[in-house]
Chain A
Amino acid sequence: MKLKWTLLTFIFTIATVLTGCEPLLVLDPKGPQAATTADVIWLSIITMAFIVITVLVLLIIILVKYRASKQDDDYEPPHIEGNPIVEGIIVGIPILIVIFLSIVSVVSTYQVETVPEGYEDQEPLVIYASSSNWKWHFSYPEQDIETVNYVFIPTDRSVQFKLYSHGPITSFWVPQLAGQKYAMADMVTTINLAAESAGEFMGRNANFSGEGFAENTFNVIAMPQDEFDTWVDDIHATADPLTEDIFNELLEPGHLGQLAFTGTHLEFSPPPEGEHGGHNHGSSDDTEQSEDEHDDSEHDHH
């Protein structure tokens, strides 16, 4: 048995050394949302380490103390059905731990689903991030520009990513800024985040989406607001306009480098929200406009 525990210690030492050089991305947050999840993760690791160590210590004591080689040949282990107090403890303690973690989980989930704390009164910068095989398209409706495979955001500002997909389900993930959210073809999902220090962050699609999945990454570059504004002006001055034809070409399966355009694809290829959403399509509580559509489709059939 000793061998195993020596090995385990050994491995953990290696792991710590290996990772000691650079902090793990998820545990090295650069914004309030990722900081929340990192805190939750640390808290849960500590709680869970307590449980694991308890079980391990109990197990080792029992194994050492009650192994057959240490006992008399004629020792007959007793028949024990159970004991209400002991069973109360082994039920009670897990319940307390689960209640504690449930509260943490619920509170933090609400936190990361809404606008980060301290940014509530700001108007968020809205960016549509849509995935296609195997690229990310970032549309800035307000700034009227679009980028591919990289996204600039201002620091210390609430940013709202609106996610959807032009193909398979993908998952938008910038570990140092926030957790994941799926991008799907028939609805728009939302991530609220903020970056609190300037820098370049790794972003990727985390959900398997076919052959080019491994390289389906993008860069997030966070910078102060004035630099961001300069960048937007630069794009307007230098980039070509995005037309429907160009956009359809971009959608072809494959990989592309980083590109920038003026205008967004949202005008000619609207995201699946509101009247274009799969959810609302033809449902009874529709907006007036799709009531009309509904009528049209009736006409088509008669």
Chain B
Amino acid sequence: MEFFERFAIPHPDPMIYASMVAIVLVSIAIVAGLTYFKKWGYLWNEWLTTTDHKRIGIMYLISALVMLFRGGADAVMMRLQLSSPEMEFLNAQHYNEVFTTHGVVMIFFMAMPFVIGLMNYVVPLQIGARDVAFPRLNALSFWLFFAGAMLFNISFVIGGSPDAGWTNYFPLASNEFSQSVGVNYYMWALQISGIGTLMTGINFVVTIFKMRAPGMKLMKMPMFTWSALITNVIIVFAFPVLTVALLMGTFDRQFGTSFFATGNGGMDMYWANLFWVWGHPEVYILILPAFGIYSEIISTFSQRNLYGYKSMVASMVLISLLSFFVWVHHFFTMGQGALTNSIFSITTMAIAIPTGIKIFNWLLTMWKGKIRFTVPMLYSVAFIPLFTVGGVTGVMLAMASADYQYHNTMFLVAHFHNTIIPGVVYAMLAGLTYWWPKMFGFILNERIGKWAFWFNVVGFVLAFFPMYITGLDGQARRMYTYSESTGFTPLNMLSFVGAGLMAIAFILIAYNIFYSIKNSPRNVGDDPWNARSLEWATHNPVPEYNFAIEPEVNSSEAFWDHKKKKHTLFKGKIDKIHMPNNSGIPIIMAGILFVFGFSFVFSIWPAVIIAAIAFFACMMYSSFENDQGRYISADEVKETEEKFGGASK
């Protein structure tokens, strides 16, 4: 029994027991359902072993949506706890676990897979490629992310959640102050999914450099592809820093090193430095693809080309460079002196310049346009003023002297949600709605979508704008309770109402998916939005091989040219197409790493060693495997194209 005691929850609570039961029941239901409908084979052959970038993209998106609800539930719980003073809904320990989980889940397991999922689906199509450069590695990336996400999500029912905040500052996160295995989970869940992300980065940089359609020079790539390229370059350079930080953190907690300890030569501030050297570029890893998505959508629904293409690219490159030189602004208050703070204050504010350029370029794209207010466009239109507020409060925070007052308060919380929600989350919702017909061949219901949009925006404003005020009134972040005399009550109540409206919005979005699967017309054609870039030149939903004939391109709006300027996209005739084979290796390797991570969390060394050996055995097996892929015959391609109503329109 002693062996099993380590898996017990250190701070039990009826809600956690209820979740355990729910998790077990849902798992049983899924297994039973799959068995009853005989879907195991389908699931394994078509999805779990797939190397198709489109299916991997969809799996990323499904995971991201599920995690959105997990993180969202945490958010509502926090707002409820703070809605009135001296609330007794959560105690301090649980509140700490909830906000830690909320942060980690939203950044690593919601925003990251959402971004990477859309990149997976869209980038190869936008550059006219048949797949990514390394399809099997791509599958491995996804499954590593998934293993990391699962590892993190079981923490609250087995062994306890991390409770040191998503930034996980030492020495608070050390064994001395965080005694459960929660932070071990944090380390390994992030490590495993981080390695997956790093591989995605390598994969997409090669894909974009080496697999573009003939004629697509770098300066003729659609803006989303540009943003994806820059994002993945940032990933390649930023994520190794996280890898080292997590390794050192793991060593501190599990092998007794003293890197971030308070004695023995350790330095607690060094974790904060390492974390933010990775963490600030991470912010741009999330926001740049969002900028790319907005560029596509605003241009499409204004029926105009993107204004200032070159300055858009230049500003993204500039942002990516600057993003590595601003990390200190996350702790101006560490006492590094006025000079250092001044330098980082200026570099941080400098980021406002390229960002400002982008805002004005979007405005100028709409200027003289013909604006249609579809759901994706509504999100993009709301994004502009809301993100501007988020951006300018960022500039306010960048002023070091004033930051001494904003730091660690609700003002900061309001600021970063004000950039991440209208910036990243709206972009993901807009992108999902925009590319939905590309993925599934029908449009999500616009009416429900618009309702969800309004709930989202009004909810957002109500939830987060009051925080600017309470922050200036002295409400620190991460406080699980406050007394009535502080006067925070009305505004926090307002925040809670806003959070409730946002929850309704997301439920509406989920409902819309079910509703549209059942009711939406299926004959939307291949170009439902009157779009401009190359991904719309193939069919909806996209056939396995993407393009029957490799397109030829001479501008960033190849499809628009094809429609309006009689540019011939598809020259040549249909030939056999080389496709990668499915492989079970990625999911098996990720499963092994899951076991590895789990055993490591609990220091079960024999299992760790066995898992490590098994992992390398898989790599060895892969190395010796002779997989040349397969061909889809020309006849089969022709047949599929006929079904979609004629080859290469």
Contacts and interface: CB of A to CB of B under 8 A. Distances in A.
B486 to A, nearest CB: 8
A154 interface: no
Contacts of B477: 208
Nearest to B409: A206
A209 B381 CA distance: 40
A7 interface: yes
B215 interface: no
Interface string A38-82: 001100110010011001101100110011100100011111111
Interface stretch (A179-187, A228-236, A285-293): A179-187
A19 B305 contact: no
B345 A186 contact: no
Contact of B96 (A41, A113, A205, A210): A210
B507 interface: no
A76 B528 CA distance: 18
A112 interface: yes
Contacts of A168: 169, 171-172, 177
Contacts of B169: 168-169, 207-208
Contact of A77 (B302, B357, B400, B454): B302
B88 to A, nearest CB: 13
Interface in A198-227: 202, 204-214
A106 interface: yes
A266 interface: no
B356 interface: yes
A95 interface: yes
Given A11-B461, A186-B262, A112 B369 contact: no
Given A52-B388, A212-B92, A105 B345 contact: yes
Contact of B368 (A22, A44, A66, A102): A66
B92 A214 contact: yes
Question: Main SS of the interface on chain B?
Answer: helix
B133 to A, nearest CB: 32
Interface in A123-167: 133, 163, 167
A282 B294 CA distance: 54
Contacts of B349: 98, 101-102, 105
A202 B381 CA distance: 42
A175 B309 contact: no
Nearest to B347: A102
Contacts, number: 287
Interface stretch (B248-256, B390-398, B635-643): B390-398
B265 interface: yes
A37 B400 contact: no
A4 interface: yes
Contact of B353 (A95, A106, A163, A179): A95
B404 interface: yes
A256 interface: no
B361 interface: yes
B370 interface: yes
Contacts of A82: 307-311
Contact of B454 (A3, A52, A104, A202): A3
A52 B333 contact: no
List the 6 closest pairs (A to B, CB-CB), nearest first. A179-B404, A189-B335, A185-B262, A48-B392, A108-B401, A94-B356
Given A51-B392, A80-B307, A185-B268, 18 more contacts: A11-B462, A15-B469, A22-B487, A24-B473, A62-B363, A66-B302, A68-B370, A75-B370, A82-B310, A90-B356, A108-B401, A110-B342, A113-B337, A179-B403, A179-B407, A182-B335, A206-B408, A213-B480
23 contacts: A3-B454, A4-B458, A7-B461, A36-B401, A41-B396, A78-B304, A78-B368, A82-B310, A91-B353, A102-B349, A105-B349, A106-B346, A109-B345, A110-B338, A168-B171, A179-B401, A181-B333, A182-B331, A184-B268, A184-B269, A206-B407, A213-B92, A213-B96
